[in-house]
Every structure is written in C-alpha cells, then in structure tokens.
Structure 1
Amino acid sequence: MKSPVFPEFGLGCAHLGNLFTTVEEPVAAATLWAAWDAGVRYFDTAPWYGHGLSELRLGGLLRHHPREDFFLSTKVGRVYDSSQTGMEHIAPWTGGLPYAMHYDYTAHGFAASLAQSRLRLGVPRIDALVIHDLDTGHHGDGRAAHAEDLVESGLPYLHDLKRRGEISAIGMGTNATEDFAHFAPMVDVDFFIVAMPYTLLDQAALTGPMQTCIERGIKVVIGAPFASGLLADPGAAQATYGYAAAGEDIRAKALAIEAVCERHGVPIAAAALRFPLLHPAVTSVIPGAVSPEQVRQNVEHMSRSIPDALWERLKADGLILDQSPTENAPGEPQ
C-alpha cells in the first residue's frame, strides 16, 4: 500500500490531554472545532496524552465527520488497564483518565493499544500508527529489550497491518537527537515524528538523522515546531523548552531570533512554523493549541510570507546553522 500524502499542517493534541495545565472540557471541544473550521484535517494524538483523554476528546470532533475527510495518527507502545487506577495526575499531566499503563512493543501490545485507541476515538480506522517513546529517556537500560520486542514482533505486526490496508503509514516518535540518530538508519518506517531535534532553535540533527531520512526516503513530521513553547513567545515568564522551564541561555537565543524576526515584520511563531518545512525531508508541522484563538493564530501564521532576507540574517548572526535549508519551493510563501 502506497504511503499517504501528509497534510502540511496539522494539530498535535498532546496539550488536550492536560499537558502541564488543565484544559477544561468546553475549551478543549471549542479548540478542536476551531481547528476543523479553520481547515485543519490532520490530527495527531496518543494514548499517553492524558492517559487516553486526548483521544477521547479528539473523537468527540472526528465522529461528526466522514472518515475520509481527515488524516489521523495515534501511537503504540503503551497499554492501559482499566482494572488499575491512580495515573491521572502523573507528570506531565495535570489530569486525565485514571487508568494505569505498562509499556509493550510486541505485536500483542500493539494490537491491544490499537483496539483501545479505536474505542476511545470512536472511529473504525486510523491512518498512521506511530511507535512511541522507545528512547533512553523513558526506558534507560531497558530500551534494548523493548527494541528487541519491536524488531522481532511489533514492527512486523505493523507492516502486516499496512499490507492488509488497515493503516496507511508506520511512524516512530522521538524527542532527542541521539535517539533519532540511533533509529533513523535501522528502523523500517515511513516517517518520524520529531518533537525537539529540528527547530528554529536547534539544528543539531541536520547532518545526521535528517540526512539519513533523505537518503532512506523517510518523511519527517515536526511535532514541536515551537520547541514545546519557547518559540511561540520567548518573553513569556513560564515559557518551556524541551518540556521543562526554559534556561537563560536558550531563552536569550530565542529572544535574539525574535529580534531578527521583528526587524523583518514577521512574528517569531510564523518563522518557527515555516522554517522546518524548508527542509526536503519535512512534510508537516503539527503544533499544539489550548484555545480556539491559538489555533486560529497558528493557521494565520502558516499563511505569512517569510522573506529570504530573514533566513540570511539568522545565518549571518549565527542563530541558525549555515547549512540549514532555507530556500522556498515554487509556490510557497515568500
């Protein structure tokens, strides 16, 4: 089965699982409907996001629309147990569904996770399944055993699903450059969702895993184009970077980038959304949002014209790597 064409812009739904802060039900619903009304048709979620809460909320939107009208991805690697409770306030979630979870990267675990996701979402088919958080940050020395389960059991199961037409793409998600670099040459997937390794603030993955993806024909979806928040508003007192409080050095760099953007009449958030898409491996950006206003603002930023002079100045000032791709493809905003 041929891999699908990914929409260029989507909505990442981690924040709708109450990531760092509680999003009340009416606000979550309004945010999702605002995305749909603004033309967003790519939605990414995961069982991990609020221990199923994000999927449950997203299903409240998607169940009102024909299945062929949207592209949906969720993740595998965690299985929940309704007989065990007490997980809803485990960091980084401020609330969510109460069920406990365990990791499972085998075919059995992936099948259980997929069945649970379909029930929470209330949709019969999911377009893309993403192998979630198989990294040292979550597993430490235990990663090798889980990786063995993936190679011997879980990944063949996903390829079987794809051959049967039950999914159209297989992905892998990663938050760290070293994990991205470890898996990019060896895992047979259609795309990676990378949440931090390639942004306007950090291009460390450029000559390693990003180049590997080009060579292997693997797409890249940027899951955190705002670097978990800092690039949306570098001056915000509570701005986060890498899902933690932003340090002074990285905040100073973000403020310097923002100053260049302001001199060219461009909001830094617009530059942050457009920059990754200039890389030939990158197919989509999927920022999160916690309000209808944020959704509409992100959609507006995507339509902004970004002058080439802005990228040139960022390179000249040493704020992005010289080798970063910054040429617009024909037809893209200039």
Structure 2
Amino acid sequence: MTAVMASSKIGFASRLGFGASGIGTLYRDVTEAQAAEVLAAAYDGGMRYFDTAPLYGHGLSELRLGTFLRTINRETVTVSTKAGRYMAPPYGEKVDYGLWASPLRLKPVFDYSYAGTMRSLEQSASRLGITDFDLVYIHDVDRFTQGDAYERRFNEAVEGCYRALDDLRKAGHIKAIGVGVNESDVATRFIKGCALDAVMMAGRYTLLDRAAEADLLPEAQRQGVEIVVAGVFNSGILATGPASFGTTFDYGAPPQHVVARAKRIEEICTHHGVPLQAAAIQFPFRNPQVSAAVLGMSRSERIAQNVGWAELPIPENLWSDVDRLFEQTAS
C-alpha cells in the first residue's frame, strides 16, 4: 500500500501520506520531542508523503515538519502545504484557537488574493525551510468553512489564489496545484474552472460517505485530476467504532442515520474478519483516480498500526457486501 503509484503524474512518493495536523496540537498538546518521534516513525515506516497547512497549529505544524525535513534527504519525500490563510500577530486582539490545544499565538487571516497567496507561501517557505513546493492546495474554500462568504471567497480564490499558484507553477516553483475542501460539489466546481492537478477530498469519499461518487470522481477522471483522500475515518466514527462514547462524524455528534450505516458496515467487516479501520483506509484505493490517502497522526505507535491496516488482505466479498448496503440505502 505504501508503494509509489506508477500512474501518478504528480509522483507521490508513497500512497499513504502523513497528515501533520496532529503535530500542530489538534485536540491535544504534542511536545517537540513527540512531534519529532512521530515524524521519524512515519518516515521509517514507509510514509514518504507529508501534508501540512499554515492553519495547523497556526504555523506550528509547518515549523515542526520543516525541522524534520532538514534531517532527511528532501528528494525522498513529497511535501504539500496549503494557501488561503497567512499568520499575523494578534496585537492584543482575542484569538479563537478552536481545536488547537497549544498552537503558536498567531492569528490566521483568510486571504485568497494574489498578494495574500504570495505572502502565505513566503511564510510557509520560511517555516518549512524549502524554496520550492511539490504541491500546494487552495484551502477551505467551501460552505463548511466560509458560510455566507463562500461565493465571494470562491471568486477571490479563482481570480487571485489560483492565478498566483499558476504563475508559480509555470515558473517551476510549484510542481502541482490542488484544492483541499470538505464538499465534493465545490471541488468539482474548481476543477471545471481551473487547470488543477489534484483535489484533496476530506470525508466525502470514504467507507461511510460516498458523496464524491456523484460528481467529483467522474469529473476528475474526465479532467485527469488526481484525488488525495483525507478524513478516511470521518473524523472519528470509523476509527473508534460507531458504538464508542463521544465518537464524532465531521467533527460533531453523528446523526442517527450515519450511526446506523456505520454499525451495518462494522457488522460486515466483523463477518469477514477485517478490522473496520483497515477497510476504511483501503476503501478509497478501489478507485484508480485516488493516488494517495492522508492519515492524521500524532502518536508514533499509530504509524505501524495504520500501515498494517493498509496492507491487510481484504476479501472482495467484503466490498461487494458494502456496495450492496449502499445500493439498498439509495433505493
């Protein structure tokens, strides 16, 4: 599962990617030593694709990943970051740190303009310690994040952020451009209007939620756009199991119909002797448009566990049973 995809135009160094939100202290504090340990374990475990963003820990994730990158051969890994926010001193302004337990005390500023994109990438380059980028995603231009500002932000991103990234791609400073969002119809809109290389689809092409099958995946195939899947556990319900206390779906309490579907899927996995987590990690790779899956981790022991799940043999009958469940639900 960690082998390089020969068909990938982008050339992801591994199919399993390390999502660096956790080392930015998503949900819990992570020390410098712990961050260094989990990054080294990921690399030693065969992960050669590392994804980060300015938002993660308000710059902390990029700083920590940059420190690690200076200990290895940069040519052995694929590194992606994101654009759409830059960090600024709050100058006494109260900052909502949201899900970040111990971030840098900086204020994220949305800016999808041409100049704002350049500013964001200059900051990312300084934190990561690299001059050129393998892949940069336009980040969080969706209704989930932007609310009523979505339409304005979308237009700003196309006219500003995309144009800036395209200029950098033409100049050879960026190898590939993508968009990273939570809604498949938004990603589809982007690839219809921009010459993108990749889409990072969070939570909409998973064992539990196949929304991207209706629009994004067919259009991505037509356009030759590669798919990177994030949120394969749908923020928690497929990692801890649907019966787990406090489990989440899309970072909130799961609706009852989602819990019911997750329980049925778990029953199918149990019937075939396959851990729910293994099926969740491997499901997206059934589609040849999927080049990589990014898994967020902040504990080193999770590396071997996730790699093991990714490589576990899964009988075809399991996928047939899951497909049948979705067909019954849709009818």
Q: Normalising by the residue count of structure 1, what TM-score does the alignment of the two structures yield?
A: 0.90
For residues 320 and 294 of structure 1, do their structure 2 counterparts lie closer, same or farther at Cα, with a shift above 3 Å needed?
farther
- SS, match of residue 173 in structure 1: strand
Q: Deviations over 1:185-228 (max 9, x none)?
A: 22321110011111000112202121111111111100111111
- Give the alignment partner of residue 136 of structure 2, picking from 129, 136, 150: 129
Aligned to 1:63: 70
Aligned to 2:311: 303
Q: Deviations over 1:13-63 (max 9, x none)?
A: 112212222223322221111101101110000001111111111122111
More displaced stretch, 310-319 vs 119-128? 310-319
Alignment partner of 1:117 is 2:124:
yes
CA distance in 2, matches of 1:162, 1:24: 35
Assess if the C-alpha contact under 8 Å between 2:137 and 2:178 holds in 1. Answer: yes
CA distance in 2, matches of 1:320, 1:85: 55
Assess if the C-alpha contact under 8 Å between 1:88 and 1:95 holds in 2. Answer: no
CA distance in 1, matches of 2:73, 2:151: 41
Q: Normalising by the residue count of structure 2, what TM-score does the alignment of the two structures yield?
A: 0.90
Alignment partner of 1:11 is 2:14:
no
In proportion to residue count, which structure has more helix? 2
More displaced stretch, 163-172 vs 310-319? 310-319
Alignment partner of 1:138 is 2:128:
no
CA distance in 1, matches of 2:248, 2:194: 30
Assess if the C-alpha contact under 8 Å between 2:38 and 2:300 holds in 1. Answer: yes
For residues 158 and 85 of structure 1, do their structure 2 counterparts lie closer, same or farther at Cα, with a shift above 3 Å needed?
farther
- Give the alignment partner of residue 214 of structure 1, picking from 218, 221, 227: 221
Q: Which runs of 5+ in 1 are unaligned?
A: 323-334
More displaced stretch, 178-187 vs 153-162? 178-187
Alpha-carbon shift at residue 88 of structure 1 (Å)? 6.6
Alpha-carbon shift at residue 89 of structure 1 (Å)? 5.3
CA distance in 2, matches of 1:66, 1:122: 13
Q: Which runs of 5+ in 2 are unaligned?
A: 1-7
Q: Deviations over 1:276-326 (max 9, x none)?
A: 01112211101111201111111111111111011112223347889xxxx
Tell me the matched-pair count.
321
For residues 318 and 155 of structure 1, do their structure 2 counterparts lie closer, same or farther at Cα, with a shift above 3 Å needed?
closer
Question: RMSD across aligned C-alpha pairs, in angstroms?
Answer: 2.1
For residues 44 and 86 of structure 1, do their structure 2 counterparts lie closer, same or farther at Cα, with a shift above 3 Å needed?
farther
Please tell me the residue identity of whatever aligns with 1:37.
D
Assess if the C-alpha contact under 8 Å between 1:200 and 1:272 holds in 2. Answer: yes
CA distance in 2, matches of 1:134, 1:72: 21
Alpha-carbon shift at residue 97 of structure 1 (Å)? 0.6
Assess if the C-alpha contact under 8 Å between 1:185 and 1:209 holds in 2. Answer: no
